[in-house]
Structure 1
Amino acid sequence: MSKKQYAVIKELVDHHGNKKRAAIKLGIPIRQLNRRIRQYQEKGKAAFIHGNYGRKPVNCLSTEINNKIVTLYQTKYQDFNFMHFTQFLNEFEGINVYYSTVYQLLSQAEVDSPLKFKRLLVETALRQNIGLSILKLLKPKPSKPLISA
């Protein structure tokens, strides 16, 4: 939208075009168009660049913290699943991050959760028709009803 706005407003200012037609072309009210023309006359093409362009988001973690999270998982907490690891980061390491952030960081570092290996073990046992005792251990036990009929 910014390139289109720039082109239309530049054409309007340079050739003294019709403001109403330009406003319809851009899909904005004439009052907004007047404001954009004033900005163009003051700043030029820079008026059409967003103010936050090139800035790092406030809620973005630094690369130092990202590396620390991956290193902690690979060295100290390698047997934890991602959810448990996130809880330990929040409680004991003082790094307050969400599960989705931890999952994304560890996935980018090509680190797999131990639960993934458990799933692969079950699939392999099913394909090879062996390890039925392992499958029995991994299956959840059915719960008993609280009230008997």
Structure 2
Amino acid sequence: MAACWLTVSLIGGDTVGAKGGSPSKAVTAEETKPPEPFGTDGTITLTDVGADLEDGEPCSGTGGYSDIDFGAQVNITDAVGTLVATSSLGLGEKTEAGCAFAFTVDEIYPGSKFYTVEVSHRGGLTQTETELRAGGLEFTLGD
């Protein structure tokens, strides 16, 4: 008799809970699938850098902004402060506004009330999931 019950259980037959409850509901792969991650992109611009350069020329942070340069870390944390994604700055390029560094961050998992984006150690800026999904974030450092 035990072998018969085991066979029915293994082939997906309905079972009744030990206390006589209702048949258990099968959980589908769709219900257990984690939410799809998303990405964002943006730029951080140093306004006090590159005055002597032509637009489009490479540039980098200097003086008090020397930490803002190619490869500087971009961190995204969730509402409870857990690091959820990282990336780094691309090459700096002189623009009319200063020295701009682009970044792209992938693999951000949805579901947090808000996210904080921080470049280097410069303090984070809070964004909603909708704002991150839209991309085109623009941050500025300098006077």
Q: Which has the higher strand share?
A: 2
Instruction: Please give the range of the TM-score, normalised by the shorter of the 2 chains.
Output: under 0.3
Q: Which has the higher helix share?
A: 1
Q: TM-score, normalised by structure 2?
A: 0.23
* Higher RCO structure, 1 or 2 (CA under 8 Å, sep 6+): 2
Q: TM-score, normalised by structure 1?
A: 0.22
Q: Rg bigger for which structure?
A: 1
